[in-house]
A and B are shown apart, each in its own frame.
Chain A
Amino acid sequence: MEFLSYLISGISLGSVYAIIALGYTMVYGIAKMLNFAHGDVIMVGGYISFCAMSYLELPGWLSVVLAMAVCTVLGVVIEGLAYKPLRQATSLAVLITAIGVSYFLQNAAQLIWGASPKGYTPLVPALNAKGEPNALQLFDGQLSIPYLSLLIMAVCIIVMVALTFFTGQTKLGKAMRACSEDKGAAQLMGINVNRTISVTFAIGSALAAVAGVLLCSFTTSLMPTTGSMPGIKAFTAAVFGGIGSIPGAFLGGILLGIIESLAKAYISTQLANAILFAVLIIVLLVRPSGLLGKYVPEKV
């Protein structure tokens, strides 16, 4: 029973990582760039929804919509100003620019919202009206799964399925895949590569807003640096599952959460992160392109 409860807390943490990783992997898969600013877009999403709820007193769901709208615009603006001019540059140049954007967002957030942490009211409150924990009780209350965790998992699965469908079936999705395969050839086929990449960023940023709201609901706290560590963890998750692969990001995120939780419970809370990264290294040595990543043989 103890094991199960550790497992469940691992899965709920993992689904937070997974939903961030989905945005990461999507942008990586299509634009072939490591968007280190993704974590900070999440943070902005969190702040927007916080402001909507506490200053404008909007209901939770509306704050999510607003956060998605703002983040989408933000993502497109960032892409247009900072990344688009670097389309022909080396991937390292883009990486450094993304880091610059990340610094910019963090510091701008600190100037706008202050350095003090904010308490975030979760979308699903911790306690119900009767003052009991808002959780699904199983086995006579021995095992409790917070409804919030269930919500995060559900959103995560919906997003994954929707993204898989979108990239696999729709015209725009196919265009994205074409761009990811070969930008030049895609252009020759009449696909507007620039526009497609912008749309990718828009979708990735909207996802980041959702992830931000869920992350903040999970941690109940919000700071200008809220996004950076989950961002790195999600990047790790995306690589773990095979970067560029949508089901891979989901799987990677969930596994990462479980490993972290079990390592804390049974080995050492001290070294939880070290163990997590060690597992990652071992997996990558056995499967050099991640769990579900495609092995692309080099052509000579």
Chain B
Amino acid sequence: MKKKNLAALLMAGTMCFSLLAGCSNSGGQTSNPPASDPGTQDSQPAVTDGPNGGTAGGTFKLGGIGPLTTDTAIYGKAAMNGAQIAVDEINALGGPIQFQLQPEDDQADPELGVNAYHKLLDDGAQIIVGSVTSGSGIAVSAETFADRVFTVTPSGSSVDVISGRDNTFQVCFTDPNQGTGSADYIAENLPGAKVAVIYRNDDAYSQGIRDTFVAEAQAKGIEIVDEGTFTKDTQTDFSVQLTSAQNKGADVLFLPIYYQPASVILAQAKQMNFAPTFFGVDGMDGILTVEGFDTSLAEGVMLLTPFSADAEDERTQSFVKKYNELHGETPNQFAADGYDAVYVIYEAIQAAGCTSDMSTADLCEALVKVMPTISVDGLTGQGMTWSATGEVSKAPMAVVIRDGVYVTP
């Protein structure tokens, strides 16, 4: 009984603490959403002059959403680190447009994604960079659509993230795009291949690419001899799936999965003396940066990726160098997507001539209007353009790994 009292006391204490925390937040931020009413009144004329008039300016607050803890943290951290580098670059230019990025953790969970989004708006975020993962992205973009907040997702690749939401734009390819792209590439460059697929069936990304890949493969007459699946809980051992693919004579193994399980598959296939052509998609990018990974295992792996850290161009080189200095590792595609997302916003703001004192809704309308008209050169593609539905158009790049670096075949 005494125990219960004490528990109650503690509870009450924590409750007070958290309520206080909540209040201090609301106290600080109450000025934010309502401020738009009088504020925009003043800035309205500037805006009307704005479009394409080059009067864009002010400090824009970007809210980043992505998994920063738990097992998907690799993706969220990379994207947010990349975005921060872009923000620093833009701010260093000293131009009228300045950015401030606040990353928030969503653990790749829709529920926490929505919580993070609300928190960001409380803290005055005007534009959302997120969510990094599709699952959370679908829920977050539903909220941003309802609230009219401009959203650019670095790597939320599911179609559902953008479908029916005119305010959400993707930097990465959509999943169907990758599936058909891979099937087309295989049909063209590896004719007569017997393809086996191993994918993760409790993951929207993997399943999404697999579905369109299989549909396109059938249309192109590619023979799919075997399909194996795994889940988050069984991603430590692939010997059964590999044995099955080997027995069915597969000579191409299509892996629409992330690089961590892919590295395990490569190692186990080697152990079994099974050496098909491995074919990956953008999730495979990063496999060479895994510390301690034996890159000889990845020799000959083909992948469709929008980004290559080995690219010769100056911009990529400087990005890779900065990332390495700051975080001690080579950036992967997620980092590049995050970096590009900020530049996309930057270009759009310039094109629309927005100012940071516009209300988020006005900002959103103005940016949505210019998105289909702009073209952005980024790390993940030259001359990226967007359809009004939010889908990006850029050329996928097929690379093959030779001696631990990407080369174009």
Cα distance A215–B236 when bound, in Å? 9
The answer on a CB contact under 8 Å between B233 and A273 is yes
The answer on a CB contact under 8 Å between B273 and A144 is yes
Cα distance A261–B242 when bound, in Å? 12
The answer on a CB contact under 8 Å between A9 and B239 is yes
Cα distance A127–B201 when bound, in Å? 30
Interface residues of B in 245-276 (CB under 8 A from A): 247, 259-260, 263-264, 267-268, 270-273
Selected from B73, B233, B243, the residue in CB contact (under 8 A) with A265 is B243
Cα distance A34–B121 when bound, in Å? 42
Q: Which residues of A contact B241 (CB under 8 A)?
A: 264, 269
The answer on a CB contact under 8 Å between B229 and A270 is yes
The answer on a CB contact under 8 Å between B228 and A269 is yes
Interface residues of A in 224-265 (CB under 8 A from B): 224-225, 229-230, 233, 260-261, 264-265
Instruction: Looking at the assembled complex, report how far the CB atom of B266 sits from the nearest CB atom of chain A, in whole angstroms.
Output: 9
Instruction: Looking at the assembled complex, report how far the CB atom of B2 sits from the nearest CB atom of chain A, in whole angstroms.
Output: 14
The answer on a CB contact under 8 Å between A9 and B237 is yes
Contact of A110 with B292 at beta-carbon distance under 8 Å, contacts A9-B240, A220-B264, A264-B241 already known: no
Cα distance A222–B291 when bound, in Å? 10
Closest B residue by C-beta to A50? B292
Closest B residue by C-beta to A270? B229
Contact of A230 with B292 at beta-carbon distance under 8 Å, contacts A116-B329, A133-B271, A269-B229 already known: no
Cα distance A120–B236 when bound, in Å? 13
Contact of A121 with B294 at beta-carbon distance under 8 Å, contacts A116-B289, A144-B272, A225-B70 already known: yes
Q: Is residue A287 contacting chain B, with contact meaning CB distance below 8 A?
A: no
Interface residues of A in 1-51 (CB under 8 A from B): 2, 5-6, 9, 13, 50
Chain B: interface residue total (CB-CB under 8 A): 39
Q: Which residues of B contact A180 (CB under 8 A)?
A: none
Q: Which residues of B contact A5 (CB under 8 A)?
A: 243
Interface size class of chain A, counting residues whose CB lies under 8 Å from the partner chain = 35 or more
Cα distance A75–B273 when bound, in Å? 40
Interface centre among B73, B233, B234, B243 (most CB of A within 10 A): B234
The answer on a CB contact under 8 Å between B74 and A221 is no
Contact of A218 with B236 at beta-carbon distance under 8 Å, contacts A117-B290, A120-B292, A121-B292 already known: yes
Q: Which residues of A contact B240 (CB under 8 A)?
A: 6, 9, 261, 264-265, 269
Contact of A270 with B201 at beta-carbon distance under 8 Å, contacts A225-B71, A264-B240, A264-B241 already known: yes
The answer on a CB contact under 8 Å between A126 and B243 is no
Q: Which residues of A contact B69 (CB under 8 A)?
A: 107, 110, 115
Cα distance A13–B254 when bound, in Å? 24
17 A–B contacts from the bound complex (CB under 8 Å): A2-B243, A5-B243, A13-B237, A115-B73, A119-B263, A119-B293, A126-B271, A133-B273, A144-B272, A222-B292, A229-B233, A229-B236, A230-B236, A269-B230, A269-B234, A269-B240, A269-B241
Chain B positions within 8 Å of A, measured between CB atoms, are 69-71, 73-74, 77, 201, 228-234, 236-237, 239-241, 243-244, 247, 259-260, 263-264, 267-268, 270-273, 289-294, 329
Chain A positions within 8 Å of B, measured between CB atoms, are 2, 5-6, 9, 13, 50, 54, 106-107, 110, 114-122, 126-127, 132-135, 144, 146, 148, 215, 218-225, 229-230, 233, 260-261, 264-265, 269-270, 272-273
Query: Other than the known A223-B260, A261-B239, what 7 A-B pairs have Cβ atoms closer than 8 Å?
Result: A13-B236, A118-B291, A133-B272, A133-B273, A221-B264, A225-B71, A272-B234
